[in-house]
A and B are shown apart, each in its own frame.
Chain A
């Protein structure tokens, strides 16, 4: 019933949905993302309410450098594309290609994180620290939470790469990779909102 591949040894077309456990995982993860949407939605609402409360410190307009943020956005969006390629490879039963695309994805993710850390250090030098104002606290909470999600995703995908290399692409490992892909897309979508609401709106005022 579960964990069994096909009698003829060929992986089914959508291996992540071939077992009940797999289908449960995929549905469960979509629902989890629904909850995460509410979570980030609440964080966004808080940020929007507090974004003008700079307590004498630097404003969004003064702080943000759109070039760095644009670069980070490009990197993260590209990583989402490469994760799509990974899943496509999975559906074509090409575990090697899938692993390679996943590796590119996490490398790009690391690049994104590196830029973000650089950015935060710059801001801190300008007086925009966590405890500086309501604006800064909500900024670091929202953007930092997202960054934390990216970091967790990198660790998770790395672990999955190792598992696929060790055990191969099976009806057990496929759902894990699929939902990691969903997760990665989700944090990409959240970033699009952050880019728009925090950075673009911050520059425009």
Chain B
């Protein structure tokens, strides 16, 4: 029969981490890798700001500057914030819906390792031939071999392609997990907002990333195989790249922000001791934002010459997204209204998020008005807008989520004092860095310039911006110190360390045991754990008897498959097709093995299952 009767495979140490298919460990891997790339992206930002602190600076050459801005954007979006989002989704969503793992544990691991090796490939470019330097948007013809003949843009194409596979797999995984694996009683309208946000985000990922895949393939074919997608001399069209990129690129920014919205809903509700105000409106608004996000891509192309009909339509569509976003902001404020607000470090970050993101959102509406955008586009005004939404918004939200869920993930809370220091340095530094950039744009400073002329009126504000960036760096260092200091502490967190946990993850031990729930819980309402607590129950009611728990087996194949893709990427970049083929062969061989080897996992027997609160 199909019952696994082999010896249980359990690894320890490094092998444990390389072979794990446990969503909690994979989540930690995502957080660590994302954090690492965040530091690299942050260093690139500091170097950019040092170059721009005064006019005519020659701290870096123009070529290096263009590499820095390209890598800063690409790294931060694809290799830093997205993995941290996936990390939190991995660690928390299964716990919030009462599941024991995600739907596809093996693919989950594969998703992590492909992201990781794609990111390594992209960053190896610094040392081996030159980093991409055509902007994170990589417009053609600049990104074609005619005008970028080094390997830089090839690293961009292959690195992102490999990383993108990871994102796509993650998206499918969470969609199926949320649809099929909710605990009994957990209807869709009883799911926590972070889970809803993750669910909609996963749908956006599924529908947006394939467009990027095609764009990257087309650019790769043009560069490596002499294709003509974007070569005007052979009938190609450069506008195609812009359309394809932004049909992906705009939903991408909603992929980035929706999880943060989910986190804010959780944090604001928990630390005001009130249920989320207007939950069904919040769900509806999230869905609407996701949907509208696919309708607005050409607002990135207002100056490309699409014509007045397109520009007018996309202006209106873009403005409309402000409405559901505004609904969310007001619902958060009215959650706080009448509450009992405790200013923990997660809540500080959430409270910093709200006004900052609103500022970013309103500059977004300003940008939506096309005639205004004819002036703002490609100036520092746009740079200010997207940093307000992505850094002041998303990153603040991620800091909130990370501080909030750290005890659940690692069994120890982060230090509150260091957390507050992180917050103040980061938020003050952030506004110093980016508020002035609105004005720089409005005074005529274009973006992506490695230096500026003296006497233009840009000097003072650029200096302020650079100092602000340094303060942000200090904040990040406080956070890194916090992580290191905390890691030395013993794992003493209780199941509900904030004492006001409302959602299911707070009902089990910190960190969660390998199997998450000894018995799948019965969900009796929204804010399922809070409901039990209010009725005097210390634990969730079980929905099933205690029994053997099935666990998936660890596997080294995801790691090897990703190495195969990494090698293949190198082969394509340097036109060594034997190497490219060999790398692909390794990956295909692993897929073959995966299909053919039947491994039905193992069971944890009831005797091994410890009572809640004690670690196995």
A contact set with B: CB distance below 8 Å: 1-5, 20, 23-24, 27-28, 31-32, 34-36, 38-39, 42-43, 46, 49-50, 52-55, 130-138, 141, 156, 159-160, 163, 167, 170-172, 176
Inter-chain CA distance A51–B362, complex, in Å, is 41
- Chain B nearest CB from A154 CB (Å) reads 14
Residues of B near A133 (CB, < 8 A) are 228, 234-235
Binding site for A on B (CB under 8 A): 1-4, 103-104, 168, 171-173, 175-176, 179-181, 206-211, 213-215, 217-218, 221-222, 225-229, 231, 234-237, 240, 244, 247, 550, 592, 595-596, 598, 600-601
Closest to B212 in A: A42
A39:B213 contact, CB within 8 angstroms: yes
User: In whole Å, how far is A109's beta carbon from the nearest beta carbon of chain B?
Assistant: 18
User: What are 22 A-B pairs at a CB distance below 8 A?
Assistant: A3-B2, A5-B1, A20-B181, A24-B103, A24-B176, A27-B180, A28-B103, A28-B176, A31-B176, A34-B206, A42-B244, A43-B214, A46-B229, A50-B240, A52-B235, A54-B235, A131-B225, A132-B228, A159-B592, A159-B595, A170-B2, A176-B595
Please pick, from B172, B237, B601, the residue contacting A35 in the complex, using a CB distance under 8 A: B172
Q: How long is the Cα–Cα vector from A13 to B598 in the complex, in angstroms? A: 23
**Chain B residue at minimal CB-CB distance from A176:** B595
User: Is A137 within 8 A of B228, CB to CB?
Assistant: yes
Cα(A162)–Cα(B517), bound, Å: 38
* A137 proximity list for chain B (CB < 8 A): 221-222, 227-229, 234, 236
> Cβ of A42 and Cβ of B247 under 8 Å apart?
yes
The interface residues of chain A lying within 8 Å CB-to-CB of B240 are 46, 49-50
Which residues does chain B contribute within 8 Å of A39, judged by CB atoms?
Answer: 210-211, 213-214
Contacts of A46 in B (CB 8 A): 214, 218, 229, 240, 244
Residues of B within 8 A of A49 (CB): 237, 240
Contact check: which of A1, A24, A52, A132 meets B550 at CB < 8 Å? A1
Contacts of A54 in B (CB 8 A): 235
A134's contact among B209, B229, B244, B595, by CB below 8 Å, is which? B229
Chief secondary structure at chain B's binding surface: helix
Shortest distance from the beta carbon of B175 to any chain A beta carbon, whole Å: 5
State how many angstroms separate the Cβ of B283 from the closest Cβ of chain A: 20
CB-CB under 8 A from B4, the residues of chain A are 3
B228 touches A36 (CB 8 A): no
Give complex CA distance A42, B218 in Å: 11
Q: Which of A28, A36, A134, A141 contacts B234 (CB 8 A)?
A: A134
Bound Cα distance A42, B222 (Å):
17
Chain A residue at minimum C-beta to C-beta distance from B547 = A1
Task: Please give, as numbers and ranges, the residues of chain B lying within 8 Å of A141 by CB-CB distance.
Answer: 217-218, 221, 227, 229
Q: Which residues of B contact A172 (CB under 8 A)?
A: 2, 598, 600
- A50 near B237 with CB under 8 A, answer yes
> A123 to B221, alpha carbons, bound, how many Å?
19
Beyond A27-B180, A133-B228, A138-B229, 5 additional contacts (C-beta under 8 Å) are A24-B104, A55-B228, A130-B225, A130-B226, A172-B598
A134 smallest CB distance to B (angstroms): 4
Interfacial chain A residues near B236, Cβ < 8 Å: 50, 53, 134, 137
Q: Which residues of A contact B168 (CB under 8 A)?
A: 35
CA separation between A54 and B234, bound complex, in Å? 8
A-chain residues with CB within 8 Å of residue B244 when the two chains form the complex? 42, 46
Q: Please measure, in the bound complex, the distance between the C-alpha atom of A4 and the C-alpha atom of B176, giving whole angstroms.
A: 22
B206 nearest CB across to chain A (Å): 5
Output the least CB separation between A9 and chain B (Å). 9
Q: In the complex the two chains form, is B214's CB within 8 Å of A34's CB?
A: no
Name the one of A1, A27, A36, A55 contacting B179, with C-beta atoms under 8 angstroms: A27
- Residues of chain A within 8 A (CB-CB) of B226 are 130-131
CA distance A32 to B231 in the complex (A): 32
Closest to B213 in A: A39
Residues in B whose Cβ lies below 8 Å from that of A156: 595
CB distance from B207 to the nearest CB of A (A): 5
CB distance from A194 to the nearest CB of B (A): 15
Min C-beta distance of A3 to chain B, whole Å: 3
Min CB distance B579 to A, Å, is 20
Q: Are the C-beta atoms of A2 and B550 separated by less than 8 Å?
A: yes
State whether A35 touches B207 (Cβ < 8 A).
Answer: yes
**A28 contacts across to B, CB distance below 8 A:** 103-104, 172-173, 175-176
Residues of chain A contacted by B231 (CB below 8 angstroms): 134
A54 to B218, CA, bound (A): 17
List B contacts of A171 (CB < 8 A): 2
Q: Kindly state the separation between the CA atoms of A4 and B595 in the bound complex, as whole angstroms.
A: 18
| Cα A24 to Cα B198 with chains together (Å) | 18
Distance in angstroms from B552 CB to nearest chain A CB is: 9
CB closest chain-B residue, reference A141: B221
Give B247's nearest chain A residue, CB to CB. A42
Among residues of A, the one whose C-beta sits closest to the C-beta of B179 is A27
Q: Once the chains are docked, how many angstroms separate the CA of A77 from the CA of B237?
A: 34
Residues of the A chain whose Cβ atoms lie less than 8 Å from the Cβ of B176: 24, 27-28, 31
List chain B residues, Cβ under 8 A from A131.
Answer: 225-228
| 7 nearest CB pairs, A to B | A53-B235, A3-B2, A134-B235, A39-B210, A131-B226, A42-B214, A137-B227
